[in-house]
Chain A
Amino acid sequence: MAAHDIEVILSRQLADCLSLPIFIVGPKGTLLFYNEPAEQILGKRFEHTGVLEVDEWSKLFRPQDDKGNTIPPENLPLVNALNKRKPAAGSFWINSLDGKSHKITVTAYPIIGRARKFSGALAIFWKEEGEV
């Protein structure tokens, strides 16, 4: 496998250093990495999840709105950032892989490097204040 673009490698280096949960996908939406703080919310270590395609991870955490309606993948901020190549944000509920439910807020942006090469997208997310 060819090495990732340098912008993606640097994103992971940054994610490794931050206490903020971060989720990184490649240009086709393949999950490449999430950091340790993200593992706390998603409920599973990245080593155990491994690389997932967009169709898998976008449903895996069963995203729902406040009324409990399933959010289709195309309405998720990270998928939006991938498809439209623009920053996107939103709040919704997820079910973590250890069985807990969390309301999270997500800000996602496309990773567009020099010469405007599109290399993937990155999502920063956090639990809503007061959410247990």
Chain B
Amino acid sequence: MKVRLHGTRGSYPTSNRENEYFGGATSCVELINGTERIILDAGTGIIALGSEEYYKNKEFNILLTHLHMDHIQGLGFFGHLFNPNNKINIYGPSTTYESLYSRLNRYLSPPLFPIPFRDVPGNIEIKEVLNTELIIGSFKITSNFIVHPGPTVGYRVENQGKVLTYIPDHEPIMGSMEMFDDDDWLSGFDLAKDADLLLHDAQYTSKEYSSKVGWGHSSMEHAAEFAHRTGAKHLLMTHHDPLHTDEIKKRDFGEFMDNHDYDFEIGLAVQGSEIQL
């Protein structure tokens, strides 16, 4: 399974030179096994996948973690939605009353978007997930609700014996740096257990986190401790704060690594990079 990172920025896209190394597109990850592909999240990173040259399939599976704008903003500009010969399955978290279609339609309709969702030419099927297991081709996928404001799931994707876990927005414990001792009290634990690659929220430094408690995001310390507790083999920190330039990210990450010693690989997610699992 190849993991391609098309969007690693959190909150909103950036396009300045100071952010270009880690990238300015918001959350989107593509998983590839031969001719099979699935897409995790539809931030502005998904727009790059929209050309027929890049993506020759006629069926697309897009799995949304949640409906904050940095995870869906690219959906309306994903070119394949506008081809009537295409089938697009969009998965996303269920909630108690309002359907996923209705919630997506709040963005994909005037006045926020020029075309009503119902008029998008592609054959779109909306599928709601809870704590769900599903199979898409050779991908076995598990979704679980995790701690983040609003209905939000993380995904565990298994393929050919390898596991990718994707939890781009997550605040595993609110207002504390100490997680509960027991693993079964740890949000997202089952998703990330023994993952070969964990893509996890690490938007803040611990100092920044102290003034953003309850915003739904992790510090680098949270992300690393979560990876340690779950036994993940490789952590890539993602959902980079848009105010963090490349220079700031490298500096903060360097300081973090100087002060922590974990026995697994840790890095920062870079837009455009590819990891082979």
Q: Which residues of A contact B (CB under 8 A)?
A: 1-6, 9-10, 12-13, 17, 33, 113-117
Contact = CB atoms under 8 A, between A and B. Distances in A.
B145 to A, nearest CB: 4
Given A17-B175, A115-B94, A115-B96, A3 B187 contact: yes
Interface string B138-156: 0000001111000100000
A5 B186 CA distance: 10
Contact of A12 (B93, B151, B183, B185): B185
B83 interface: no
Interface string B175-190: 1000010011111111
A5 B145 contact: yes
B131 A116 contact: no
A117 B96 CA distance: 10
Nearest to B186: A3
A10 B145 CA distance: 11
B185 A6 contact: no
A66 to B, nearest CB: 37
B147 A9 contact: yes
B174 A13 contact: yes
Contact of B95 (A9, A10, A17, A114): A114
B184 A1 contact: yes
A4 B174 contact: no
B145 A3 contact: no
Interface of B: 93-96, 130-131, 144-147, 151, 173-175, 180, 183-190
Contacts, number: 50
A5 B146 CA distance: 9
Contacts of B173: 13
Contacts of A3: 144, 183-190
Contacts of A10: 147
A116 B93 CA distance: 14
B230 to A, nearest CB: 10
Contacts of B185: 3-4, 9, 12, 33
Contacts of A115: 94-96, 130
Contact of A114 (B145, B146, B174): B145
Nearest to A14: B174
A2 B188 CA distance: 10
B13 to A, nearest CB: 29
B96 A116 contact: yes
B92 to A, nearest CB: 12
A4 B131 CA distance: 11
A127 B10 CA distance: 46
Nearest to B97: A114
A10 B148 CA distance: 10
A6 B93 CA distance: 13
